[in-house]
Amino acid sequence: MASDHDKHDDHGHGLAHVASSKTLLGTWITLMFLTVITVTATRIDLGPSYNLALAMAIAVVKATLVLLFFMHLRYDKLFHSVLVAGGILAAALFVGFALMDSSQYQQTIIWDPSHPPLPPFGPIPVP
């Protein structure tokens, strides 16, 4: 990809790298292809967690492609990639810390006194 961009549009004196038409079209076709794959994969039963893992893996690949090529991160200043990585890290920390004690939550919120809340997840007390 690097060689192809060298011989194409970017001669080093634009304001920014110009994405080659080959890169844009290639990214687009890959994204469309992965969309078909992810929809098709839902019909195959791998067990709920593996189906979820596969769908998320495909989504991560798609997101990476968008970031690298459509959003130019591959050719852009490293600092912008650092920003994105930092943002994702911060989001992961936020999600992780927010969910850390979630096994202690009540399964349901009381909104009908005749339906008492269920106990939290965790080891089931033996009577």
Partner 1 sequence: MSQAQHDAHDGHGDHGSPFIQHHFDDGQHQFDTGKLGIWFFLVQEILFFSALFVAYILYRNHHPEIFAYAHHYLDVKWGAINTAVLIVSSLTAAWSVRAAQLNQQKLLVGLLAATIACAFGFLGIKYVEYTHKIHEGILFGNRFDPCVSSGGEALPNKKNHCHGVKSSVVWDAKTKAAAKGCLEGDFDQDPAMARIQASCEVAEVTFQGTGAKRVEQSRRSIVACDTTPLEGKTGWAARRPRAASSASPCWELINNPWVCPKGPAAMVYYGDHAARGHQIEIEVANCKAAPKPTEPTDVFGDVVRPGGPGQATYVRHEPVSKHELALEVSNGPPPPHTNMFFSIYFAMTGLHGLHVLMGIFVYIWLLIRATKGQFGPAYFGPVDYAALYWHLVDLIWIFLFPLLYLIH
C-beta of 72: minimal distance to partner 1 in Å? Answer: 8
28-67 binders of partner 1 (CB under 8 A): 28, 31-32, 35, 38-39, 42, 45-46, 48, 51-52, 55-56, 58-59, 62-63, 66-67
Entry field: residues in the chain:
127
**Dmax over Cα atoms in the chain, in whole Å?**
76
How many residues in the shown chain lie near partner 1 by CB under 8 A? 62
Q: H-type helices in 43-120, by residue range?
A: 48-65, 78-99
C-beta of 83: minimal distance to partner 1 in Å? Answer: 5
Q: Is 14 exposed, middle or buried (0-12, 13-18, 19+ CB in 10 A)?
A: exposed
Give 3-state DSSP helix, strand, coil % of the chain, rounded to 5.
60, 0, 40
- Confirm if 34 and 61 have CB atoms less than 8 A apart: yes
Positions that interact with partner 1 (CB under 8 A) = 9, 14-16, 18-19, 21, 24-25, 27-28, 31-32, 35, 38-39, 42, 45-46, 48, 51-52, 55-56, 58-59, 62-63, 66-67, 69-71, 76-77, 79-80, 83-84, 86-88, 90-91, 94-95, 98-99, 102, 105, 107-108, 112, 114-116, 118-119, 121, 124-125, 127
